[in-house]
Structure 1
């Protein structure tokens, strides 16, 4: 079974939430779990899924989440896409400071461009999933 646009969107959303995703080609199902590299990750609730993935590994396609460099690039691309030059400059300034992810999030969350950011990021994640398929 091939991935549909709906599969791609679902995988993109899960990756955006910090999950690792696995598409089971024979059934068209998506499995996911938190990133084991996360210091707060507790493997116990996911042991059954790990066994399931391991027992049929050859039929799964794994999708990775964006690393921090790629996530930063998406934020920077969004800033450069802004036609409001004052807000663009504000975002770029926030990205150049210490804790750029936190600064960017605060600036976006308190702006009228919040939904635009979510739409932009969703498209970026969909493109990221499609890129991993190649």
Structure 2
């Protein structure tokens, strides 16, 4: 059947219900859901989880979530609520505490972390927060795609995250799309929720 024949068939059905308001509304809803791409994600359904915790912890939650998103390890001073961040590869190369002085002498003034790399070791009490595992980061990305409206973008992203190199393919598309800012907001809220659910109790128990 040609496209013209298909169109005529559709018009016949449409004419048959032209005076039926309920049927027209039902048809319109179906057509919008199936064929009209909505450029908005209803983030109002995803609460700002920071508002559920005491105000003094909210900046800490945002900072740790930001470090986590960037792949940094966070060190949280449970007395002052100060936060330090460090790339995982640098942390894994740190010497034992008794070797700190010798190691610091080898650091140059141009080293990015030379002034603060050992600051967390001077704290009386702190907790260490690792970046997300790739499987957990993937679930956040998958949840975002699940919340997109039906349409071209959702189809592309579904294919991206279910194929090879899901993170790279997802980012290649999302950063050039109209969903870029929505993704950042969504991701921030999900990372903040993870920090609250997994670590806040450790901070408040010691604080």
Range into which the TM-score falls when normalised by the shorter chain: 0.7 to 0.9
Q: Which residue of 2 aligns with 1:35?
A: 88
C-alpha RMSD of the superposition:
2.5
**1:31 aligns to what SS in structure 2?**
strand
Structure possessing the higher relative contact order (Cα contacts under 8 Å, 6 or more residues apart) = 2
Instruction: Note if contact 1:63-1:132 (Cα within 8 Å) is conserved in structure 2.
Output: no
Moved over 6 A (4+): none
Residues 19-44 of structure 1 show CA distances to partners (whole Å, capped at 9, x for unaligned) of 11011022221111111279xx8755
Q: Shift in Å at residue 13 of structure 1? A: 0.9
Q: Does 1:53 align with 2:123?
A: no
Candidates 60, 72, 76, aligned match of 1:7? 60
Any residues of structure 2 matched to 1:45-124 within 5 Å, and which?
45=111, 46=113, 49=116, 51-56=118-123, 59-124=125-190
Instruction: Note if contact 1:15-1:65 (Cα within 8 Å) is conserved in structure 2.
Output: yes
Q: Does 1:17 align with 2:70?
A: yes
Candidates 125, 129, 132, aligned match of 2:191? 125
TM-score if structure 1 supplies the norm length?
A: 0.83
Larger displacement relative to structure 2 (28-37 or 89-98): 28-37
| Unaligned 5+ runs, structure 1 | none
Residues 29-85 of structure 1 show CA distances to partners (whole Å, capped at 9, x for unaligned) of 1111111279xx8755447655443454x6102212111111111111000000143
How many residues align? The count is 130
Distance 2:177 2:81 in 1: 39
